[in-house]
Amino acid sequence: MNGMYSFLKEKTVLVTGGTGSFGQRFVATVLQESVKKVIIFSRDELKQYEMAQSFDDPRIRFFIGDVRDKERLYRAFDGVDIVVHAAALKQVPAAEYNPFEAVKTNIIGTQNVIDAAIDCGVEKIIALSTDKAVNPINLYGATKLASEKIFVAANAYVGERKTRFAVVRYGNVVGSRGSVVPLFIRLKKTGRLPITDVRMTRFWITLDQGVRFVLASLDRMHGGEIFVPKIPSMRVVDLAKAICPECEQEIIGIRPGEKIHEVLIPDDDARRTVEYDDHYVIQPDFVWWKKEYTNGGKPVPEGFRYSSDTNREWLTVEQLRTYIAALLAEESDDR
């Protein structure tokens, strides 16, 4: 993989929330490139200590801090070229019970990141978002929608400075902490797996796919885009069959803040969406946006909607089983 991302050469890269599932895989990937330095910015000293045991590279640094603390961000961003903003409170039930804590991290924290990036001269910064930001019905999704909006708008007030902002929006990450795959694997021994609704569908993306898409988006971004990957859908009942075909599926009903299907691009955004071979770009609604940036892409039809239930690509039980086996083998190797 070394040399795949030439734009990283001799750059200093910082990841907020870098001890999370995405952050750890992202750092492992970036360290294969000729980067100058990689900085992990996160709150938890124990997670940083544990992560440090996994990496033996003089280019990695650990910086304890919280995106709520603007002064700390200014110190951390000094001399940084590229930022990936992955820090967030993302557990839906926790956000519902502690609403303003989610607001302080996911919205106010994002504004702090923007201010620090502009004033410290960061070149490129990309934020991770989620399908839950589209037509949100829970507080987590609402905070991520607000985060997307202020991130895209940040490009309009950088003035003559070089900082550019973009967003990556994708679905549930397979195997990440708190996702359904580890839950089903853990409950497999009980002989019963909980299914909220037999109709439920989700988009499917692996950690490696997410990392590669973020890096590709960093390379191609001009500022203001929302990048959406083309990824397959899966039925949650098929996932349960793939993990434990002999398990009983217990229907427990839709949980608060949960949708039956997820949407990555709503039809309201179709007029600003351009399709490429492996991704979509939702263009910013700014007068300064240059349409020639989209060369090679084609506008999607009016009324287009990218939803997990009407997706053109689906994973079968057999394919899901193969992915999960690979995931388990990878985790075994890590241990």
Point out the catalytic residue in the list 11, 132, 144, 241: 132
Active site residue 132: yes
Q: Which residues neighbour 279 within 8 Å (Cβ) at sequence distance 6 or greater?
A: 213, 216, 217, 227, 228, 229, 230
- The pair of structure tokens assigned to 236 is 């949650």
The answer to whether the CB of 257 falls within 8 A of the CB of 137 is yes
Pairwise CA distance, residues 111 & 280, whole Å: 25
Could you write out the DSSP letters of every residue in 111-122?
HHHHHHHHHHT-
Q: With the C-alpha atoms ordered 171, 212, 120, 51, is the resulting torsion angle positive or negative?
A: positive
Q: With the C-alpha atoms ordered 170, 171, 173, 174, is the resulting torsion angle positive or negative?
A: negative
Q: Which of 251, 242, 249 is nearest to 192 (CA)?
A: 249
Q: How is residue 189 annotated by DSSP?
A: G
- The pair of structure tokens assigned to 321 is 């089983």
Secondary structure of 294-330 in the HEC alphabet? HCCCEECCCCCCEECCCCCCECCHHHHHHHHHHHHHH
Active site residues: 132
